[in-house]
Amino acid sequence: MFRLVRMLRSLLLASMSLALVSQAADPKLKGSKKETAPRLDLGIPTFKDIPKDQKLEKPKEAPEAQQGPSGTRLDEGYTVVRVIHGKGFMRAPDGAKPSAPFPQVTVSGNPLATEKFSSVVRVKSPARKNTRIEVAILDQRGDTVMEASGEIRFGSGDEAEWQVDWEPTGVRNPGEFQVLVRIGGNPLGTFPLKLVAANAPPTPAAK
């Protein structure tokens, strides 16, 4: 009897030991080990931390384009020194001088027309750069009565002259006209020109 009890106790202990060994060997039992799902790569880039001692700076803006007309320099400016009129001109070191000055231009006939005369435009430019010149005579309404164009050429000095010979041209009425001068396509001002009827008293020439 005692031997039988002892044998049963041995069998019970053996079965309990096998159960414990089986539980430890099975990896699928709860709490045996932690399983983690694989990480999905979503293609999102990782950002590195910004150093705390480095300040963020705005990108430097590109400098604004230089404003103003392209190809124009201060020393290439042109100015009109004078505009004179006459029948003919004598050349002198200081420029053309009319042999018969025209303080005014006579108009006559029916319809009215100007007499034949010439105009000399004197221009100054420190750069002495040859360029296009245009001269127009405007009536009281601002309409163009006569016009001419060409090229003004500079020599060794910074002043040059350009002459235009006007043919007789019809006008509506005598009166105060204007001579418009353009240099390189830019208007540089207007200069007075008086047209008078043939029987009107002459205006004294400027001294």
pLDDT at 111 over 60: yes
pLDDT at 156 over 50: yes
The mean pLDDT value for 149-168 works out to 95
Say what the alpha-carbon torsion angle 8, 9, 14, 16 is, to the nearest 10 degrees.
110
Contact yes or no for 132/149 (Cβ under 8 A): yes
The mean pLDDT value for 51-74 works out to 42
pLDDT at 163 over 70: yes
User: Could you tell me the pTM of the whole model?
Assistant: 0.60
The mean pLDDT value for 48-72 works out to 43
The mean pLDDT value for 129-144 works out to 96
- Give the count of domains, the chain: 1
| In-domain check, residue 32 | no
Predicted confidence at residue 43, as pLDDT, reads 55
| In-domain check, residue 151 | yes
Which parts of the chain fold into alpha helices (H)? 2-25
Predicted confidence at residue 169, as pLDDT, reads 95
| In-domain check, residue 23 | no
| In-domain check, residue 137 | yes
CATH number at 153 reads 2.70.50.60
The HSE-up count of residue 156 (CA atoms within 13 Å, CB side) is 1
Predicted confidence at residue 5, as pLDDT, reads 53
| In-domain check, residue 104 | yes
Mean pLDDT of the chain: 76
Stretch among 27-36, 95-104, 168-177 having the lowest mean pLDDT: 27-36
The mean pLDDT value for 115-144 works out to 95
Q: Note the pLDDT tens digit of each residue in 67-105.
A: 323 233 444 699 999 999 998 899 888 888 888 888 899
Residue 192 lies in domain: 74-197
pLDDT at 4 over 80: no
Predicted confidence at residue 202, as pLDDT, reads 57
| In-domain check, residue 2 | no
For the chain, the farthest-separated pair of C-alpha atoms sits apart, in whole angstroms, at 173
| In-domain check, residue 113 | yes
| In-domain check, residue 24 | no
